[in-house]
Structure 1
Amino acid sequence: MSVTIQDRLQFLQPLAQSGLFTQIQRGLEKEGLRITPDAELAQSPHPERLGSTLTHPHITTDYSEALLEFITPVSTRLDDTLDFLKDLHRFSYQNMDEELIWPASMPCRLHGNDSIPIAQYGTSNSGTMKSVYRQGLSWRYGRIMQSIAGLHYNFSMPEQLWPALQHLQKNDQPMQDFMSEQYFALIRNFRRYSWLLLYLFGASPTVDKSFVEDREHPLEKLDDDTFYLPYATSLRMSGLGYQNNVQASLKICFNSLENYVTTLTHAINTPHADYEAIGVKADNEYRQLNTNILQIENEYYSDIRPKRVARSGERPSQALTERGVEYIEVRCIDLNPFESTGLNKTQARFVDTFLVFCLLENSPQIPDDECLMLEDNHSAIVNEGRKPGLMLNTPDGAISREDWSHQLFDQLIPVAQLLDQGLDNPEHQQALEVYRQSIDQPEKTPSAQVLAGVRKAGSFTQFSLELARQQARELKQEQINKARNALFSQLTDSSIQQQKDIEQADNISFDQFLEEYMAAQKQHS
């Protein structure tokens, strides 16, 4: 007889009472565009007082020189993680002069592809490689798509959980293989049910008109400067945002670690005709790292990824193959523009509950027809998730978004109860109560609140700018933790020195460096 989620919940009660689930580890990566006081994308270099983007562990840039990325340390204490993230914002505002941090996922007013400066990481070979990779993304997908910001939620279960689950399931695999298999089970269920996160937390129903200028799109005009879809939740996660037809052909449905690594490895070693037409180099300047489907593995866009901290010189999939899955990275969460850090504690408690449910619920493999069904559900939710009576598909037939949401919330309740056993207050259950209201009252979702705010302000740009100014005022007035302030100041200086040391240590040309890197990438495939 197979083990059910009820069996797992019951079995884990004693461990929960002893505080096991207070040891869940999480870390956040939050992006945000630097803008001028009048909502133009900053053209200035990354502020030197924030340190080196190549070597600073907590403040760097993502695609663009103007796209800040804040990275928290891994911690078991959610309050510490959120406080650290807020202090990164406070410290940045102390060192950014008059610039602001754009609070929305979809970008501010843009002036075409060339108005988005590619991130620079100094003159070292490793720094040059990071910039050339981004140059490749520009040629392949355009820079406008790369100016979108989001929040990545890194999550891992306590080590003590795995032997307990393995004992319950009478599984005799090596522990590393068992853990990887369980994380992939979580990922498959995440793909089945993540439409719920997109509905509850999607906050990008509108875009500035400059985002869709000179391209075909399905959006409607909201005002002179704004386009939208009436029932959209997350245009960031729609075909307008992170999507790519070449990558869509990869068909990664996360049925096993081996399948995942094999597919990615194939993609980073297989040339693609369109990218060959671009060329690697022209007029002695690099356009991309190579002409393959993926330049490197990070180019693969997915709303969730299995992860393992890689060692120096090690590819991500090589680390996964050799040492198994260590944590998962959730990538489909829009910035909450009403929160200066992009996420609040109640949201985090809900995400934790959702992810533990995905782990404990049985998770059969995903056949190709279900894979297509999941993509259709994803598309329906991001484009018209708030539409009354919207129907979604399951292997057992169609169901309304409202009915399925209530069913899932009912299934989440015992998981929230399990997680709350180690806390003073029932925070996970309270999070469920807060967000259940949004099921039948779509006007309570962030996407509806953003849309209402945009209508009131007169445009998406004006709405977001007012929030940015308000958040900047608050963050500048708030006290930063003294120890963290000292740490960030020290990291500014030490990261700049580290970058200089790396640059001075280089003893081969970038051409040779790249050739050796690509040879190693192929060798480990």
Structure 2
Amino acid sequence: MKLNHDLVGTLGGIRRGIEKETLRTTKRGTLAQTPHPKSLGAALTHPFITTDFAEAQLELITPAFTDKLKMFEHLASLHHFVATELPQGETLWAGSLPPVLPNDDDITIAQYGTSNAAQMKMKYRRGLANRYGKRMQTISGIHYNFSFPEVFWQQLHAHENSEQTLSDFISEKYFHMIRNVIRHGWIIPFLFGASPAVDKSYVLGREHHLEAMGDDTLYLPWATSLRLSNLGYTNSEQSNYPLNYDSKMAYLKGVSDLLAMTSDKYRHLDASQQLNASVLQLENELYSSVRPKVVSAELRPLDAMCQHGVEYVELRTVDNNPYLPLGINDMQSHFLDVFLTHCAVSSSPSLTPQEFAIIQQRVEQVATQGRKPDVLLPTLEGEQRLADMGQTLLASMKEVAALFDTAFNTQAYSLSVSLERQKFADTSLTPSAMLLADMRATGLGYRALVQRLSDGHMLTHTAHSVSDDTRAELQQWVAKSLRDQETLERADDVPFDAFLRRKTAMTCDC
């Protein structure tokens, strides 16, 4: 697939959104023990300020924007509002890997109220805690949501004389993109990984091969993203069942099977401690670098995708950059736009089980040893130098970057690719290298350095200028979310078990 002139004219309609997870912490770099502030609204029903796994784990969500400046302004406004409403002495943690963690009993799962919907969310999280441990679930990151405008697909559909319905055509092309994101996704932790070290409390009771730095920090000298390593946010059970990304229906069949398949590993857990004993309790439990997504308030995700197709993709491998107040900036977003579009227009053969296994090895190698001089990565053709693979990939992205420059009347997209190419020649430019260098230069451990960076960002957040109208709108969302939660709690008219059966019933014939 090629981006012809007509398609380039549609790139201005690309929609992007950001979901950023971040922990509430104390000034001592420990996990906050306070409940989700009521002044932020109801986590169950607020569309922009909610919680992820833990009660102290915020998730800040932007809508999808065509205007990137508005997206970042919305994200900055959310940070400002949250920072000014936190309990005295609390901070937003700037790192992806957690601060000092207490005993598991003191890591409270997110609380959502008394409604059936709330009970379902909390029981699901109890299942996560029992399956993977609470510590792993406190890892935070950024999800980058991306979609092409419908006019882009309409023109491409006509250009290719496709006989598919437009919905099926769009889904096919998004899975084309997803296969390449999986194939080339190792580049994200190399370029943007920012979690080479962790507080020693994270690995309490676990075997590991990390090295000590000072009294409280563990690290790997060449790591880029421990978050994406086997010590991070992973699921060994799911890795036994690689999904088929050849088509929407093949993917849905794979996910459906995992939702229905009882896991020998989880069948021993009491029914009160998880939603069910399947490999996946819900679709959300699927651990993957990228997900096809569809928006639906009524249907469960599997059925919604079956009926409506793929609407956007969610890139899940971006670490919070502790040097950036928002964890991500516009230049990184420019690069991600080019990367995702390149994945959409490049050749994308099927992913075989053999290639899947190689990709898993490759990501682990990059996550744990990506900055090692002359490090080799496994490929279908044998081992190749990471630097050579990276330079080749980014060179092939230059054409797409130039088309984005044309579409947006800028040179920023090409510049973003050029800046990232420099990291292959000089790995000290990567955020993972910068973090370790600063720890050595200052003598500070992970918790102390990230606390210092977090404190600085809190000053930025509180000083951020937000209009009276924006603040009033955010306060209105708080009030509405609290009302909506109360409405849900009053409206429950069936027992929880019946509610759960209805919400988890699948109608998709896949």
Question: Would the TM-score normalized by the shorter structure come out above 0.5?
Answer: yes
Deviations 1:73-122 (A, max 9, x none): 11101110011001100001111132100000000001232221100000
Residues 480-489 or 163-172, more deviating: 163-172
- In the alignment of these two chains, the number of paired residues is 508
Matched, 1:80 2:70: yes
Of 251, 254, 261, 1:260 maps to 251
Match of 2:395 among 395, 404, 410: 410
Whether 1:302 and 2:288 are equivalent positions in the alignment is yes
Percent identity, please.
39
The answer to whether the 8 Å contact 1:253/1:371 transfers is no
Match of 1:291 among 252, 277, 290: 277
CA shift for structure 1 position 373: 1.2
Cα deviation per residue 1:485-517 (whole Å; 9 max; x = unaligned)? 111111111110110011011112223322333
2:428 corresponds to which residue? 443
* Cα distance in 2, alignment partners of residues 26 and 67 from structure 1: 23
Distance 1:387 1:54, change over 3 A: same
Which amino acid counterpart does residue 246 of structure 1 have in structure 2?
A: E
> Aligned residue for 1:283?
none
Unmatched segments (≥5 aa) in structure 1: 281-285
1:119-130 counterparts in 2 under 5 A?
Answer: 119-130=110-121
Query: Per the alignment, in what secondary structure is the counterpart of residue 65 of structure 1?
Result: coil
What is the distance in 1 between the residues matched to 2:244 and 2:139? 25
SS at match of 1:330: strand
Match of 1:500 in 2: 486
- CA separation of 1:171/1:521 partners in 2, compared to 1, >3 Å: closer, same or farther? closer
Are 1:398 and 2:419 matched, yes or no?
Answer: no
Matches within 5 A, 1:312-351: 312=298, 314-351=299-336
C-alpha separation between the residues in 1 aligned to 2:226 and 2:296?
A: 32
Partner of 1:109: 100
Q: Which digits, 9 at most, give the CA deviation of each residue in 1:118-145, with x for residues without a partner?
A: 0000000001110110011111111000
1:382-402 Cα distance to aligned partner (Å, 9 max, x none)? 010001111123333332111
Residue of structure 1 in register with 2:21 after alignment: 31
Is 2:38 aligned against 1:52? no
Normalization by structure 1: what TM-score? 0.94
* 1:13 and 2:5 matched: yes
TM-score computed with the length of structure 2 as normaliser: 0.97
Deviation of the 1:522 alpha carbon: 7.2
Q: Which residue of 1 aligns with 2:358?
A: 373
Aligned twin of 1:198: 189
Tell me whether 1:163 sits opposite 2:148 in the alignment.
no
Aligned-partner SS, 1:242: coil
1:521 is displaced (CA, Å) by 3.4
**TM superposition shift of 1:523:** 7.8
1:344-359 equivalence runs, <5 A: 344-359=329-344
Q: Which amino acid aligns with 2:54?
A: S
* Matched residue SS, 2:501: helix
- Between 207-216 and 395-404, report the one with greater CA deviation: 395-404
Return the alpha-carbon distance in structure 2 between the equivalents of residues 111 and 253 of structure 1: 39
Farther off after superposition, 196-205 or 387-396: 387-396
Q: Which residue of 1 aligns with 2:178?
A: 187
Kindly provide the amino acid, as one letter, of the partner of residue 349 in structure 2: P
Equivalent residue of 2:378, what SS? Answer: strand
8 Å Cα contact 1:184/1:306 also seen in 2: yes
Q: Deviations over 1:360-399 (max 9, x none)?
A: 0010111111111111111110010001111123333332
Give, in whole Å, the separation in 1 of the partners of 2:166 and 2:506: 27
For residue 136 of structure 1, the aligned residue among 127, 139, 142 is 127
Partner in structure 1 of residue 200 of structure 2: 209
| 393-402 vs 332-341, which moves further | 393-402
Deviates more, 1:246-255 or 1:167-176: 167-176
Q: 1:192, CA displacement in angstroms?
A: 1.0
**Structure 2 residues without counterparts, runs of 5 or longer:** none
1:3-60 CA deviation, whole Å, 9 max, x = no partner? xx5xx13xx22442x4x21111011100000001111101100011000001111000
Contact (CA 8 Å) 1:202, 1:233: kept in 2 or not? Answer: yes
Give the distance between the partners of 2:330 and 2:120, measured in 1 at CA: 37
1:457–1:493 distance in 2 versus 1, CA, 3 Å: farther
Assess if the C-alpha contact under 8 Å between 1:231 and 1:386 holds in 2.
yes
Which amino acid is 2:498 matched to? Q
CA–CA separation in structure 2 for the residues paired with 1:363 and 1:338: 35
TM-aligned CA deviation for residue 478 of structure 1 = 2.2
Preserved CA contact (<8 Å) 1:201 1:445: yes
Contact map agreement 1:243 1:301 (CA 8 A) in 2: yes
Deviations 1:392-436 (A, max 9, x none): 233333321111111111111110001111223211011112111
CA distance in 1, matches of 2:399, 2:58: 38
Amino acid at match of 2:369: E
CA distance in 1, matches of 2:405, 2:149: 15
Q: 1:481: how far off?
A: 3.0
C-alpha distance in 2, partners of 1:338/1:457? 17
Q: How far apart in 1 are the matches of 2:508 and 2:316?
A: 29
Name the SS for the 1:407 alignment partner.
helix
Query: How many angstroms apart in 1 are the aligned matches of 2:121 and 2:370?
Result: 36
What is residue 364 of structure 1 aligned with on the other side? 349
Distance 1:516 1:408 in 2: 46
- Partner amino acid, structure 2, of 1:226: T
Supply the RMSD in Å over aligned alpha carbons: 1.4
SS of match in other structure, 2:237: helix
Letter in 2 for 1:125: N
Of 209, 215, 237, the residue aligned with 2:228 is: 237
Query: 1:127-183 CA distances to partner (integer Å, 9 max, x unpaired)?
Result: 111011001111111100000000000000121111332334343222111111110
Give 2:59's aligned amino acid.
E
Q: State whether structure 2 residue 470 is matched by structure 1 residue 479.
A: no
What amino acid is aligned across from residue 449 of structure 1 in structure 2?
Answer: M
Correspondent of 1:460 among 438, 443, 446: 446
Query: In structure 1, what residue type is equivalent to 2:74?
Result: F
Tell me, what secondary structure is at the counterpart of 1:190? helix
Mean alpha-carbon deviation: is it higher for 299-308 or for 106-115? 106-115
Cα distance between partner residues in 2 of 1:168 and 1:500:
51
CA distance, structure 2, for counterparts of residue 290 and residue 376 of structure 1? 31
Structure 1 residue 289: Cα displacement: 0.8
State the distance in 2 between where 1:131 and 1:476 align: 31
**Contact 1:311/1:319 (8 A) holds in 2:** no
The structure 1 segments of at least 4 consecutive aligned residues displaced by more than 4 Å after TM superposition are: 522-525
Contact 1:279 1:291 in 2 (8 A): no
